Amino acid sequence: MEAKTKTTPKGAKTAPEHPSGDKRFKVLDMTMKRNQYRQDSLIEVLHKAQEAFGFLEEDVLLYVAHALKLPLSRVFGVATFYHLFSLKPGGVHNCVVCLGTACYVKGSGDVLAALEQKTGIRQGETTPDGQVSVLTARCIGACGIAPAVVFDGKVAGQVSPEAAIRRIEEWTKGSQS
Amino acid sequence: MEFADLLDLGEKEREAQKSIRVLCCTSTGCQAANAGLVKKQMDDAVNQAGIGDRVQVVGVGCMGFCGMGPMVEVHPQNLLYEKVTPEEAPSIIEALDGKGDAKPLQGDPNHPFFSRQLKIVREHSGLIDPEKIAEYIAVGGYQALYHALHDMKPPDVVQEISRSGLRGRGGAGFPTGLKWATVAKMPPGQKYVICNGDEGDPGAFMDRSVLESDPHRILEGMAIAGYAIGANQGFIYVRAEYPLAISRLQKAIQQAKKVGVLGSQIFNSNFDFRVDIRVGAGAFVCGEETALIGSVEGGRGNPRPRPPYPAQSGLWECPTLINNVETFGNIAPIITKGADWFASIGTEKSKGTKIFSLTGKIRNNGLIEVPMGISLREIVEEMGGGVLNGVVKAVQTGGPSGGCIPGTALDNSVDYESLAKLGSMMGSGGMVVMDQSTSMVEISRFYMEFCKEETCGKCIPCRAGTVQMYEALTKVLNGEATQDDLDQLEELCKMVKATSLCGLGQSAPNPILSTMNYFKDEYLALLKKPVHAKVAVH
């Protein structure tokens, strides 16, 4: 299967724009250039890609594979190995419930159950309207303030199921107004 | 830079510091509870009161009493404030100005949680600003590196670490000096130093705390290691779940390069050492050293068979030294104070101190650094304050690789050998306390679910074994298992333990084996009852 995306030849002065004209590919170009297109920079590049695009869509994986001169299977293999990389789009808001031992012992399972019930989706999924993703992590290292939940990138400690539900309500109310 | 320049920098910083320092913890835990705003309120209060000439508010690292954050300490008065809110924070400053009383809850700095600690790695955590290299230098930072470069030869450094008895703090407890000697012995050429900051054990956050609170201590340890083994390049592999640790490390590396303690010809010697950060992407198995190497090389984190060990052929097939964050944190003090000093702490086979993250159903949640050989009871009951409801049922150590120590065994000593004899292990330092409300069978399944999610999939015993062990435990919890099923589960555990490629699979069955050993009655109580139960069948 050949991709139609343009590759960036090594040593080119300026990277040709991605055919879609999407400027986010420039962020990737900069990252790869900064790492001299080394193949071992793949994970760093995928992190940047996820940051810029929200998730790792196939077009992005193809682009990176060509630029780093890696087989697509290798890039796909790395993208699917690590939990933090997502090949599906996430919601506008996301909450990550920590399921580490300390948080679990302190009831994060109940927090997750409450969130799943409130949103109607299971962990790892996004609500049909694309507003909220409910995710889990296996320990974010905030064990002293267990149970912990990360709401849109911000860590919150000693979260009760009620508090978690309230946050979802704030988010969904905001989108309705 | 010269030694005199280093001392000068330190002197200037100490002179610039005000007589009263109000220390505000700005680590992840306290930040989640609004510590950023607490600090800002106190900064504003100092400005408003016009006492900036004698009082300074400093954002510091982790003080360890994480369950009661945001934490504020005032020096030299040794006052401790807990659960400080942004509204009440200004009153701390006003009290220092003689205007009223401080409103926040006052803590007792003489409580065993604090007084029973012996801080070596966490010596400066919570006392210095981690984002200012000058503060690290002011408390003696980078003097150990100078001493190693100018007064010792590389074999002397390796000797000193060997004599200290330091063992790896990542979990396995391998003698650090021996590891260093192995890499040092390899022929000269490209070698690497890797700091394992992947801290994947759920319930453990010691390394996160050290990286956020005293990053220079780790950089200094890595540089000394590089000198000892003949490496000029270091990598710190930090898990992506620790963004604050990553940004503090980036700042620290930048500042160290600027000052000249990292980079080329450090302290005018012919030793070069550079450090780069590599960020993980959410894979527990990448804490295993060969998987970590695979990840740094830009691939999937699949472990590799050993031998060859990383010390002989590691990153890009070059001799590589991999040590845990906490291990590196011990290097500078050993060089400064000597191997004999370090060896005088702890037990015969477990020297020095260990940082534990005390969490779960314990009254006092947080981080403690204690000498090896202290009893579990002292940690859990005196320092931890015991459980909130009832009695301690079990203490889980070593994360998913460890085991559960029953509440009846608390009088055992905390050291590598003792914990292994109890069917657990020291592990990275996670210590989760459980009470009567925890089902030990459920906890076993919880850990197995974790291993099932995290297995890299390379070897069959782990890939298939974790799934089968998980299904078996689910059958038990659903009341559908028989004694035969339990026996088969035990067989399976032993098989996976004996035949897995790496530590993840080899230790995944440990929680099951340890809970079956100490809490067999809970498993038996869940067994399927015979259909015609007129006569009990055993």
pLDDT average, residue stretch B471-489: 96
B179-216: pLDDT as tens digits: 999 999 999 999 999 999 999 999 899 999 999 999 99
Task: Find out whether B221 and B260 touch, Cβ atoms under 8 Å.
Answer: no
ipTM of the complex: 0.89
Can you read off the two tokens belonging to residue B429? 């330092």
- Could you tell me what percent of chain A has a pLDDT over 70? 88
Model pLDDT for residues A106-158, shown as the tens digit of each residue: 899 999 999 999 999 999 899 999 999 999 988 888 888 889 999 998 899 99
Which pLDDT band, with edges at 50, 70 and 90, does A105 fall under?
confident
Evaluate whether B58 touches B21 at the Cβ level (below 8 Å): yes
- pLDDT for residue A13: 46
pLDDT at A2: 44
Per-residue pLDDT at B49: 93
pLDDT tens sequence across B295-326 = 999 999 999 999 999 999 999 999 999 999 99
Helix H, strand E, coil C: the string for B275-318 is EEEEECCCCHHHHCHHHHHHHHCCCCCCCCCCCCCCCCCCHHHC
Residues in chain B within 8 Å Cβ distance of A104: 202, 446
Q: Quote the pLDDT of residue A6.
A: 46
Place of tokens 């320990």: A139
All domains of chain B in start order, with CATH: 3-115 (3.40.30.10), 140-342 (3.40.50.11540), 353-434 (3.10.20.600), 440-525 (1.20.1440.230)
Helix (H, G, I), strand (E, B) or coil at B320: strand
Instruction: Report the 3 state secondary structure along B392-417.
Output: CCEEEECHHHCEEEEHHHCCCECCHH
Nearest C-alpha neighbor of B514 from the set B391, B365, B408, B396 = B396
Yes or no, beta carbons of B283 and A47 under 8 Å apart: no
Q: Find the angle CA(B270)-CA(B272)-CA(B277) to the nearest 5 degrees.
A: 170
Would the CB atoms of B446 and A156 count as touching at under 8 Å?
no
What is the overall mean pLDDT for chain A? 87
Inter-chain touch A106–B361, beta carbons under 8 Å: yes
d(C-alpha B509, C-alpha B492), whole Å = 9
Domains and CATH numbers, chain A: 1-89 (1.10.10.1590), 93-176 (3.40.30.10)
Residues of B in Cβ contact (< 8 Å) with A83: 281-283, 453
Average pLDDT in the B257-280 region? Answer: 96
All residues of chain B having their beta carbon less than 8 Å from the beta carbon of residue A78 are 298-300
- Check residue A12 and give its pLDDT: 47
- The Cα–Cα gap between B466 and B449 comes to 8
How many Å lie between the alpha carbon of A18 and the closest alpha carbon of chain B? Answer: 24
Report the pLDDT averaged over residues A72-88. 95
Give residue A176's pLDDT: 55
**What is the model's pLDDT at position A1?**
43
A45-61 mean pLDDT = 94
B177 with B158: CB under 8 angstroms?
Answer: yes
Residue type (1 letter), A13: K
Q: Is A137 on the interface with B (CB under 8 A)?
A: yes
Query: Which residues of A fall within a CB distance of 8 Å from B29?
Result: 142, 144-145, 155, 157
Contact status of A2 with chain B (Cβ, < 8 Å): no
Closest-CA distance, B4 to chain A, in angstroms, reads 37
- pLDDT computed for residue B538 by the predictor: 52
Contact B30, B71 (CB under 8 A): yes
Distance from CA of A74 to the nearest CA of B (A): 8
Rounded CA separation A127/A130 (Å): 5
Model confidence at A8: pLDDT above 70: no
pLDDT at B247 over 90: yes
A87 reaches B (C-beta below 8 A) = no
What is the rounded CA–CA span in Å between residue B286 and residue A21? Answer: 37
Total Cβ atoms within 10 A of residue A152: 12
Give B531's pLDDT tier (boundaries 50, 70, 90): low
Query: Among A105, A137, A142, whose Cβ lies nearest the Cβ of B29?
Result: A142
Provide the pLDDT for residue B341.
98
- Is residue A129 within 8 Å of A92, Cβ to Cβ? no
Per-residue pLDDT, averaged over B357-372, amounts to: 94
Residues of chain A contacting B357 with CB distance shorter than 8 Å: 102, 143-144
Quick: pLDDT tens for B436-473: 999 999 999 999 999 999 999 999 999 999 999 999 99
Rounded to the nearest angstrom, the minimum Cα separation between A124 and chain B is 13
* B420: β partners: none
What residues of chain B lie within 8 A of the CB of A39, using their CB? 298
Integer Cα distance of A18 and A25 in angstroms: 7
Q: Is A110 an interface residue toward B (CB < 8 Å)?
A: no
What is the CA B332 to chain-centroid distance, rounded? Answer: 17
| Contact (CB<8Å) A143/B203 | yes
Q: What is the mean pLDDT of chain B?
A: 95
Cβ–Cβ under 8 Å, residues B482 and B528: yes
Residue B384 tokens read as: 């931890």
Residue B414, pLDDT above cutoff 70: yes
Residue B378 vs residues B349, B369, B373, B530: alpha-carbon distances, Å? 20, 13, 11, 45
pLDDT above 70: residue B536: no
Q: Who among A138, A143, A155 is closest to B284 (CB)?
A: A138
pTM of the model: 0.93
Question: How many Cβ pairs closer than 8 A exist between chain A and B?
Answer: 144
Selected residue of B25, B205, B361 to mutate for chain A interface (largest A Cβ count, 10 A)? B205
State whether residue A37 sits within 8 Å of chain B by CB: no
Contact B522, B439 (CB under 8 A): yes
pLDDT at A5: 44
For residue A71, the model assigns a pLDDT of 96
Spell out a b/e string for B487-517, using b for 16 or more CB atoms within 10 Å of the CB, else e: eebeebbeebbeebbbbbbbbbbbbbbbbbe
- Could you tell me which chain A residue has the CA closest to the CA of B432? A102
Q: Give the residue-averaged pLDDT of B156-183.
A: 97
Torsion, CA B468, CA B470, CA B475, CA B476, rounded to 10? 120
Instruction: Specify the pLDDT at position A15.
Output: 52
Q: Residues B345, B371: contact at Cβ < 8 Å?
A: yes
CA distance, residue B367 to nearest chain A CA (Å): 8
Pairing label, strands B72-75, B20-25: antiparallel
Question: Are B310 and B292 within 8 A, CB to CB?
Answer: no
Other C-beta atoms lying within 10 Å of the C-beta of residue B155: 12
With contacts defined as CB-CB under 8 Å, which chain A residues touch B36? none
Lowest mean pLDDT among A122-126, B84-88, B333-337: A122-126
Higher pLDDT, B391 or A22: B391
Is residue A50 scored above 80 in pLDDT?
yes
Q: So what's the pLDDT on residue A18?
A: 76
CA angle at residue B413 from B421 to B210, to 5 degrees? Answer: 105
pLDDT over 70 (residue A17): no
Is-contact A77 B300, C-beta < 8 A? Answer: yes
Interval B44-64: pLDDT, tens:
999 999 999 999 999 999 999
Nearest CA in chain A to B294: A40
